[in-house]
Amino acid sequence: MTQRPYLSVQFEDSHLSDLMLRSQGGDQESYFQLLNLCQEMLLKFIRRKLGEIDSLDDVLQEVVLAVHSKRHTYDSNRSFKSWLFAIAHYKVMDYFRAYYKSKEREVTYSSDRSFENDLAELGISSFEQFEFEQDLAEAMKHLNDKQRIIVDLVKIKGHTINEAAEIVGLSETNVKVQIHRAIKEMRNSLEERP
């Protein structure tokens, strides 16, 4: 029977906390060991949130750097994993925000480039689809970050409410409320257009 790695002693909170305390004191060996263990846990965490994406390693490195720069905030009276995953969650959300901002910029039509190139780059084959994508992007601009991420996850990428709730760290009810408000907001913004 294969042993699940996260149940082994080295991934226990007390062990990780002990390594962190020694790292805060300047023990480089403990720190190396700690970051390696964190890397394994973080990779699983980020993969669960983002799926298999090209920039998985970039996000992982961002989280590792954040853990490094904020290691003085760890309090030994508290759970190490809860501290670690709170930082990881923050960085993943940061990635989401940056990702959706860049998507918005991509869809905005630039007049100094050829129209066909833009359509091809966006993977859009017809003018109608281009218009639809542009309308959608425009309507989504009226949403706040949280709503935009949730709408994309549930309505565009096809995640379930439960999955989206886990990714954004909200309750299922809250996700449903956010979707409802987002759709209302998008409908209003599309209706207001000439």
Site residues, other proteins (CB under 8 A): 23-26, 28-29, 31-32, 35-36, 39, 57, 60-61, 64-66, 68-76, 78-79, 82-87, 89-90
2 or 28: whose CB is closer to other proteins?
28
Q: Shortest gap between Cβ of 156 and other proteins (angstroms)?
A: 24
Q: Shortest gap between Cβ of 162 and other proteins (angstroms)?
A: 21
98 or 120: whose CB is closer to other proteins?
98
Q: Shortest gap between Cβ of 119 and other proteins (angstroms)?
A: 34
65 or 120: whose CB is closer to other proteins?
65
26 or 158: whose CB is closer to other proteins?
26
Beta strands in the chain (DSSP E): none
Which alpha helices (DSSP H) does 26-141 contain, by range?
A: 28-50, 56-69, 80-107, 115-122, 127-140
Q: Shortest gap between Cβ of 32 and other proteins (angstroms)?
A: 4
52 or 192: whose CB is closer to other proteins?
52
Q: Shortest gap between Cβ of 191 and other proteins (angstroms)?
A: 27
* Angle separating helix axes 56-69 and 80-107, nearest 10 degrees: 130
Distance separating alpha carbons of residues 72 and 66, to the nearest angstrom? 11
- Kindly report the number of other CB atoms within 10 A of residue 137's CB atom: 17
Q: Shortest gap between Cβ of 144 and other proteins (angstroms)?
A: 11
36 or 160: whose CB is closer to other proteins?
36
Where does residue 123 fall: left (phi above 0), alpha (psi -120 to 50 degrees), or beta otherwise? left
Let me know: does 179 contact 155? Beta carbons within 8 Å.
yes
Nearest to 20 by CA among 63, 65, 66, 84: 84
What angle is formed at CA 33 by the lines to CA 50 and CA 21, rounded to 5 degrees? 100
Tokens found for residue 193: 């257009």
Sign of CA dihedral 17, 57, 48, 179: positive
